[in-house]
Amino acid sequence: TGPETVSPTGQPTGADPARNAQSGAYLTTAQGARLYDTDHSLKAGPRGPVLLQDHHLREKITHFDHERIPERVVHARGAAAHGVFRGYGTAAKVSKAAFLAKDVETPVFVRFSTVLGSRGSADTVRDTRGFATKFYTEEGVFDLVGNNMPVFFIQDAIKFPDIIHAGKPHPDREIPQAQSAHDTFWDFVTLHTEATHHTLWNMSDRGIPRSYRMMEGFGVHTFRLVDAEGGTTLVKFHWKPKLGVHSQVWEEAQITGGVDPDFHRRDLADAIEAGAFPQWELGIQTFPDNPEQTFRGIDLLDPTKIVPEEIAPVQPIGLMTLNANPSNFFAETEQVAFHLGNMVPGIDVTNDPLLQGRLFSYVDTQLTRLGGPNFPQLPINRTHAPVNDMLRDGMHQTAVHRGVAPYRPNSLDGGCPFHAGADTRAFIEVPAEVEGRKVREAPESFDDHFSQPRLFWLSMSPVEREHIIGAYTFELGKCYEQAVKERGLKVLARIDGELCRKVAAGLGLPVPEPDGPLADPEPSPALSQVGSVWPVD
Ligand code: HEM
């Protein structure tokens, strides 16, 4: 490989000055042979025909023909930046991860995205936003692959293809949900009522952020941290933007979407170019690692639930600054491959069934998207820690491995046996007890789909409630199927009477009776103060 430029944080940007043909003194083929003309095919006489022997023509067109790779199956539309993370050292008592130690600086690459739109879709649509961070730590890559909302639509990854099929453009007309027909999305979220909480966040101002720089980020799942003595703590990760949380109002989002569909992408790149580097504090909510995996009755393995910050404050553990734009969108933003399984010693997973399915899905999709198993070798995915693996060959292999015996122990290359626990710097899974009958069931606590949506609604200010009512009225109003709209109103009746009545009035439909009682009509005093958790600006 040729020399590479590096970002200000030391991360290779993938830009290779040797591959800068447009400004170089001369042009070559991919094999380095100099060319004298790139504008005329080789022909039998100036009026043709074109000769098959024209290697330069064939190379140029063949390569162009293969320039596109599949877009991400979700989160296809995104923008990214390089930066640096500095640990405060405050997490040292709960995690031995080296990058969290005081004043350790770690290069990062962050990709923000929408979920449902294709690569060329608008930035400003109502949707969840991805917030994925790759930490190039000295102990290996750690990926925190989160969203700008703290909960998810489903509790089990086995439903992920279903919710995404329901949300993607209609299969017959390929009309995106955000523009016209909405029936499948609303059909799904009203039949699978665990989606109610996330849907409510989507219908709130959080669904139309002002800027990527002004979004919170959430790891969503509960993770497990491991300290130097092997002690464990359950945590939820939070990114808090220094610029505060800001949204557009619906009319603004419509205008910016029309006038400048690249609104968020431009905003991020312009701010960084101008030196206005966006910053986020990373924080954690911590919970004892008890056998029930609950905190004050909230099931920590249920990704449709939050733990209110009043009862588990977010404690800051480090600061992230984004200070450099990618120099090549394809090499970096498009080829970056995040994966929850990229973990470092001191951070481990829990049994959240959504998280567990994600541990399979990301690498699996990247094998197709990035053409085989060697995408960790791409400059943007390359770890900054030394690599010493026994993975060999495969499509797009760029390493030239030495030795003859890629197995251990071996008697030919001097490879000795190798014992888990012998190296204290190794990643060692928490030896958690596992038992149980094999069943396709969810725990009973996963059945509560309405108490937290109600909590969220009760925390909203009057103007925020009006925005939510407007959003439900507009979005449900786009459904063709009367039955889907009616089922939508029944769901709203379980959240709040006023919300249901006002949306029903907007749709010109009767107010339905709720199918069950309001789940949390009298939230506990601590929970009723939860409004301050969601300031809109
Ligand atoms: C991509 C977040 C659930 C499958 C992404 C990305 C983010 C994200 C931020 C974009 C990464 C990038 O910028 O390249 C989340 C969150 C989830 C969630 C926060 C729930 C808490 C799931 C589930 C599955 C899944 C349950 C599948 C079972 C995928 C796939 C991609 C993706 C296949 C595309 C990855 C690629 O092509 O590189 N997700 N996701 N996600 N997610 Fe998720």
**What are the pLDDT tens digits along the chain (537 aa)?**
333 445 544 555 545 555 677 888 899 999 999 999 999 999 999 999 999 999 999 999 999 999 999 999 999 999 999 999 999 999 999 999 999 999 999 999 999 999 999 999 999 999 999 999 999 999 999 999 999 999 999 999 999 999 999 999 988 888 876 545 589 999 999 999 999 999 999 999 999 999 999 999 999 999 999 999 999 999 999 999 999 999 999 999 999 999 999 999 999 999 999 999 999 999 999 999 999 999 999 999 999 999 999 999 999 999 999 999 999 999 999 999 999 999 999 999 999 999 999 999 999 999 999 999 999 999 999 999 999 999 999 999 999 999 999 999 999 998 887 776 667 788 989 998 899 999 999 999 999 999 999 999 999 999 999 999 999 999 999 999 999 999 999 999 999 999 999 999 999 999 998 888 787 644 444 444 433 332 222
Measure Cα distances from 401 to 29, 373, 382, 384, 406 in Å: 27, 16, 16, 18, 9
Nearest CA to ligand 1 atom 37: 72
Distance in Å, CA 132 to ligand 1 centroid: 9
Asked whether 220 lines ligand 1 (CB < 6 A), one says yes
Counting from 1 in the atom list of ligand 1, the atom nearest the Cα of 218 is 19
As a whole number of angstroms, the distance between CA 102 and CA 427 comes to: 21
Residue 362 CA to ligand 1 centre (angstroms): 7
- 147 given a catalytic annotation: yes
Please indicate if the annotation marks 224 as binding a ligand: no
Ligand 1 midpoint to CA 240 (Å): 21
The pLDDT score that the predictor gives to residue 423 is 78
- Ligand 1 closest atom vs CA 360: 28
Q: Which tokens hold the place of 429? A: 């899974």
d(CA 34, CA 182) in angstroms, rounded, equals 55
Token pair, residue 112, equals 């923000």
Q: Please indicate if the annotation marks 358 as binding a ligand.
A: yes
Written as six digits, the tokens of 177 are: 């949900």
Give the whole-angstrom CA distance, residue 358 versus residue 421: 27
Instruction: Tell whether residue 487 is among the known ligand binding residues.
Output: no
> How do beta strands 223-226 and 217-218 pair?
unpaired
Respond yes or no on whether the N-terminal peptide bond of residue 409 is cis (omega within 30° of 0). yes
The pLDDT assigned to 417 comes to: 79
Residue pair 79/111 in contact (Cβ under 8 Å)? The answer is yes
Element (H, E) at 318: strand 315-324
At which residue do the structure tokens 């907007």 appear?
Answer: 506
Distance of alpha carbon 303 from alpha carbon 163, whole angstroms: 15
Instruction: Answer whether 75 contacts ligand 1 (Cβ < 6 A).
Output: yes
Ligand 1 contact via 365 beta carbon (within 6 Å): yes
Is 111 annotated as a binding-site member? yes
- The answer to the question of whether 296 is labelled as a binding residue is no
Rounded to a whole number of angstroms, the CA Rg of the chain reads: 26
Closest Cα to atom 22, ligand 1: which residue? Answer: 358
146 ligand 1 Cβ < 6 A: yes
| 74 alpha carbon – ligand 1 mean position (Å) | 7
- Residue 529, pLDDT score: 43
Residues 6 or more apart in contact with residue 363 via CB below 8 angstroms:
337, 339, 341
- What is the atom index within ligand 1 of the atom nearest the CA of 73? 34
Nearest CA to ligand 1 atom 19: 146
Pairing status of strand 347-348 against strand 223-226? antiparallel
Measured in Å, residue 326 CA sits from the centre of ligand 1 at 21
| Neighbour-count burial of 27, counting CB atoms closer than 10 A to its CB (0-12 exposed, 13-18 middle, 19+ buried) | middle
The answer to whether residue 192 is catalytic is no
Q: Establish whether residue 144 lines the binding site of ligand 1, counting it when its CB lies within 6 angstroms of any ligand atom.
A: no
Tell me the CA–centroid distance for residue 204 and ligand 1, in Å: 22
Q: Is the CB of 354 under 6 A from ligand 1?
A: yes
Q: Does the Cβ of 361 fall within 6 Å of ligand 1?
A: yes
Q: What is the Cα–Cα distance from 497 to 500, expressed in whole angstroms?
A: 5
Nearest CA to ligand 1 atom 20: 152
**Of 56, 63, 66, 75, which is the active-site residue?**
75
145 lines ligand 1 (CB under 6 A): yes
Question: For residue 369, which atom of ligand 1 is closest to its CA?
Answer: 37
Cα–Cα dist 364/47, whole Å: 50
Catalytic pick among 56, 82, 147, 449: 147
Asked if residues 33 and 56 have their Cβ atoms less than 8 Å apart, the reply is no
Q: Whose CA is nearest to atom 5 of ligand 1?
A: 75
Is residue 212 marked as binding? Answer: no
The pLDDT assigned to 1 comes to 32
- How far is Cα 197 from Cα 453, in angstroms, rounded to an integer? 5
CA of 45 to the centre of ligand 1 (A): 55
